[in-house]
Amino acid sequence: MKKLLLATFGVFLAWSAMDFVIHGLMLRSSYAATTSLWRPMGEMKMTLMYFTVLISALAFVLIYSLFFSRKGISTGLAYGLLFGIGTGLPMGYGSYSVMPIPYFMAFTWCFGSMIEAMVGGLIVGSVIRE
């Protein structure tokens, strides 16, 4: 149980920090150019957003912990890569197909999701090992 909590907290912190870099810094101008698509800063529900990141981190860790018999860094990275492809493509390019967002935003959402998932896999594989 202690390793599950440690891995979940580690993934949550890593994903939150990376989200700040991706969305708060790298994509700042893209969000500014598409303001009609987003809530104004004062109306954003940041507590809810961080709660969803925490639940996603917990689910990510539980999937690894419960359904992978071989546990370690290489398994965690492979899991992270596959998870990242499965979440990154629809987030980036699925959104791009239906929303008027810049291509750079779609690419960054996709690639950023893949990198975040691989970092999450590295963390979970380091904490929960055979």
For 3-34, what is each residue's pLDDT tens digit?
A: 999 999 999 999 999 999 999 999 999 999 99
Say how far apart CA 68 and CA 106 lie, in whole Å.
31
* Res 45 pLDDT > 90: yes
> Both tokens of residue 22?
């991706």
pTM of the entire structure? 0.92
Look-up: residue for tokens 């594989």?
125
- Do 105 and 30 touch, CB atoms closer than 8 A? yes
Residue 39 falls within a domain, yes or no? no
At 110 the pLDDT is: 98
Which residues form the domain of 122? 2-25+50-127
The answer to whether position 75 is within a domain reads yes
Residue with tokens 């979440």: 87
In a domain, 44, yes or no: no
**Exposure of 99 by Cβ count < 10 A (0-12 exposed, 13-18 middle, 19+ buried)?**
exposed
Report if residue 66 sits inside a domain.
Answer: yes
Dihedral of alpha carbons 107, 110, 116, 122, sign = negative
pLDDT for res 41: 87
**Is residue 65's pLDDT more than 90?**
yes
Convert the pLDDT of each residue in 67-88 to its tens digit: 999 999 999 999 999 999 999 9
Indicate whether 82 belongs to any domain.
Answer: yes
Domain assignment of residue 45, yes or no:
no
Residue 101: per-residue pLDDT = 96
Map 44-60 to HEC letters.
Answer: CCHHHHHHHHHHHHHHH
Q: What percent of the chain has pLDDT over 70?
A: 100
**Number of residues in the chain:** 130
Question: Does some domain include residue 113?
Answer: yes
Domain count, the chain: 1
| pLDDT at residue 130 greater than cutoff 90 | no
State the DSSP code for 41: G
Residue 92, domain member (yes or no): yes
Instruction: Give the pLDDT confidence score for residue 66 in this predicted structure.
Output: 96
